[in-house]
Amino acid sequence: MFQTSFLFASLLWGSIGVGYFVYGKKQQHFSSMGGGILMVILSYFVGSAVLMSVLCLGIAFAVFFLIRRGY
C-alpha cells in the first residue's frame, strides 16, 4: 500500500479531484463537483495505481464531455 507509484498517483488524482470540485462549486457545474468527489474517493479506496489512474482518466473525460454538452 505504501509504494511510491501508489502514493504519487493518489496525490496526483486527489489534487486534481479537489481542483475539479472547487471549479465546479465556483462555476455551478454539478458534473465537475461530482467528478471531483469521485476522484478523491477513488484516490482513497482503490489499491492499485494503474487502476486508479485509468478510472480517474475516465472520470476526467466524462466530466469534460458533460461540460461541453452543457450539463
What are the pLDDT digits (tens) for 16-55?
999 999 999 999 989 999 999 999 999 999 989 999 999 9
Report pTM.
Answer: 0.88
Confidence of residue 1 (pLDDT cuts 50, 70, 90): low
Where would I find the H helices in the chain? 4-27, 30-45, 49-69
Within 10 Å of residue 32's Cβ, how many Cβ atoms?
23
Q: Is the pLDDT of residue 71 over 90?
A: no
Question: For position 55, what pLDDT does the model report?
Answer: 96
Residue 59 CA to residue 6 CA, distance in Å, equals: 18
For residue 58, the enclosing domain spans: 4-69
Give how many domains the chain has, as a whole number. 1
Question: For position 47, what pLDDT does the model report?
Answer: 87
